A and B are shown apart, each in its own frame.
Chain A
């Protein structure tokens, strides 16, 4: 089982966490997740973009089409207030979950 398989469940958390730093477009979010995790985590576009649109439909992020310097259209996502709340909840959940796993592994 590859390490990215764990990722799916935590994808929302990764996206929300990245957007909490600053608004960003899809490519930027992907790069940032890759860099910060030191290449350990890589999110495929096929799951990143549907996830972004799902989060937007749920009101956790909002998006805006912008035109960049060389006239390229980019969609920039930003965290909504609801998204920030959700991030806090998910972060706490994840901490609890990973702590439990670590204890379990240490006990074994």
Chain B
């Protein structure tokens, strides 16, 4: 079917070339026939004349070929033209059909865009499937924590054959004082390994390092564009954050704003209370060793949790610490509503399709008289189906186009 349509399209677009090819084809035939006649003992002139005679009227053959080809192509155009004319005679039907399709398709396009960025597109990190977040469940109270104490982080970091790297961070905000403005920015505090663990290279400048002083900052791409107009000479300038001048050492590439739409990242300040076991104040992101799956890691984490419960019974007695893919952790609460909305929108599309199908079949009933006239005038069953298909195709194309534009 596809081949046939392509052949016809080609014939339509290259009428001149097709005619030349038919010419070549018939010339070839005459040449072969002439050769064969010579072999039978004719003189070359005789042989060619006989060959031409055998071919009959060359022009007539060409014309028949042209008709055969034209019929099928022009047929499609004619059907489309009929369809447009037919639809414009019933503007109400056409408008409702196109509008219904446009709404159904438009809603789907809009939601699919969101689903694509949030659910389907992978994280902008190096081997994101190895990145994990941590949660702890208290088996006694049923409480779930995503925050840990500094000692926990250090104990997890000691599991060197499970984690390639482990970084701590706090989803903090800070007050940024500009020349005339004061704003609250999402300045996340992160440990020195933070960028390295996620495998995201800075676009300009460098990562934060463990030995950096607290007044150092790396900017997110969006913030850099908003605040500095994407100025590449930003490295070495300062930002006044929480009353201290922070030196800008790097800018991250677009798409990286972890955690939670970060504007910038500063080194984590470990306060004395954080180092007490049982105080929860820090989140963690880890990178598993290559070829370690999340479920394998969780078997090890169960053993680790048991060991911790024995070593530090007071805070750890009933705590079960697990890892989960970072992608799931990031979506977490957002995933289910999105899936539900997507399902709803797909259902809307199905309803749309059912509506238009019903409309079309009503129109089919109204057209019965017209169609039986066509049939009695010699239109084949296939041709009538094609006519109706052409009308549906015009309706669908118009609706789809309108849906994409909205």
Contacts and interface: CB of A to CB of B under 8 A. Distances in A.
Q: Do A and B come from one complex?
A: yes
A62 B7 CA distance: 9
B21 A45 contact: no
Contact of B60 (A46, A53, A56, A57): A46
Interface stretch (A8-16, A70-78, A99-107): A70-78
B362 interface: no
Interface string B211-230: 00000000000000000000
A57 B29 contact: no
Contacts of A50: 61, 64-65, 67-68
B48 to A, nearest CB: 14
B69 interface: yes
A23 to B, nearest CB: 14
Interface size class of B (residues with CB under 8 A): 20 to 34
Given A50-B68, A53-B68, A59-B3, A45 B61 contact: yes
Contacts, number: 79
Nearest to A57: B72
Interface string B232-251: 00000000000000000000
Contacts of B1: 59, 82
Interface string B53-76: 011110011001101110110000
Nearest to B64: A50
B8 A57 contact: yes
Contacts of B29: 25-27, 45, 49
Q: Which of B28, B55, B57, B65 has the most CB of A within 10 A?
A: B28
A44 B60 CA distance: 13
B339 interface: no
Contacts of A44: 56
Nearest to B55: A45
8 contacts: A27-B28, A27-B33, A50-B68, A54-B68, A57-B69, A58-B4, A72-B31, A82-B3
Interface of B: 1, 3-4, 7-8, 11, 21-22, 24-29, 31-33, 36, 54-57, 60-61, 64-65, 67-69, 71-72
